[in-house]
Amino acid sequence: MQIKWRVDLTAEEREHLLGLIRKGKRGARTLARARVLLKADEGMTDEDVAAAVSVGYATVGRVRRRFVEEGLEGALKERPWPGAKPKLDERQCAHVIAVACSEAPEGHDHWTLRLLADKVVELGFAESYSHEAVRQTLKKRPQAVATANVVHPRGQRRVCSGDGRCAGSVRRTLRREATDGVFR
């Protein structure tokens, strides 16, 4: 089979790749791509390279093509992964937090995550919104977690500090902040 994308490494490129592999300080996929390029430079076919490096056949072809089109760094670097954009923007998140801190709807003594998710849909912010997304929204913003109106998993009401560690119960944290005169 004829090789469509031929890899010809210079001496400096080869030394650079060997150094990367020896150090082992890069990500696993980057090191696998480096091994693919070294094996491809030896003249091995895509099937042989895939078997030697333990990657897929398509990966070998993709790394070869990227090396020819973009150079060594283009073949080694990680491409951005596509991901879903957040359903709510910052203004809408702030509105959800304000709703969570307000009085619970009639017939309920507190806001639940599912009630808040339904409220997001009712307000027209999104066509659908899960209670887990509400939980993550509230978790990112400590001012929302510090209210007694919201029921959190396992019935615990805890506040996280800015560095992500638990600051304790809501009542104790609010008391401490009130005495310090610091409200975040």
Per-residue pLDDT of the chain (184 residues; tens, 9 = 90+): 557 788 889 999 999 999 999 998 889 999 999 999 999 999 888 899 999 999 999 999 999 999 999 999 999 998 887 887 888 888 898 888 888 888 888 999 889 999 999 999 999 999 999 999 999 888 876 655 444 445 445 555 555 544 555 555 555 555 555 565 544 4
Same domain for 70 and 100? no
On whether residue 157 sits in a domain, the answer given is yes
Asked if the structure places residue 85 within a domain, the reply is no
Q: Residue 171: its pLDDT value, please?
A: 56
Q: State whether 176 and 94 are in the same domain.
A: yes
Q: Report yes or no: 159 and 170 within 8 Å, Cβ to Cβ.
A: yes
Please tell me whether residues 48 and 116 are part of one structural domain.
no
Residues 71 and 110 in one domain: no
Q: Which residue range(s) make up the domain with 60? A: 11-76
pLDDT at site 172: 58
81 part of a folded domain = no
Same domain, 43 and 120: no
Classify residue 22: in a domain, yes or no.
yes
Residue 96 counted as domain residue: yes
Note whether residue 21 is domain-resident.
yes
Residues 71 and 111 occupy one common structural domain: no
User: Residues with Cβ < 8 Å from 99, sequence gap 6 or more?
Assistant: 111, 116, 119
For the chain, the domain total comes to 2
Same domain assignment for residues 19 and 66: yes
pLDDT at 144: 52
Q: Are residues 94 and 174 in the same domain?
A: yes
135 and 167 assigned to the same domain: yes
What pLDDT, on the 0 to 100 scale, is given for residue 138? 86
> Of 76, 103, 124, which residue constitutes the final position of a domain?
76
Q: Do 24 and 72 sit in the same domain of this protein?
A: yes
Identify the pLDDT of residue 100.
87
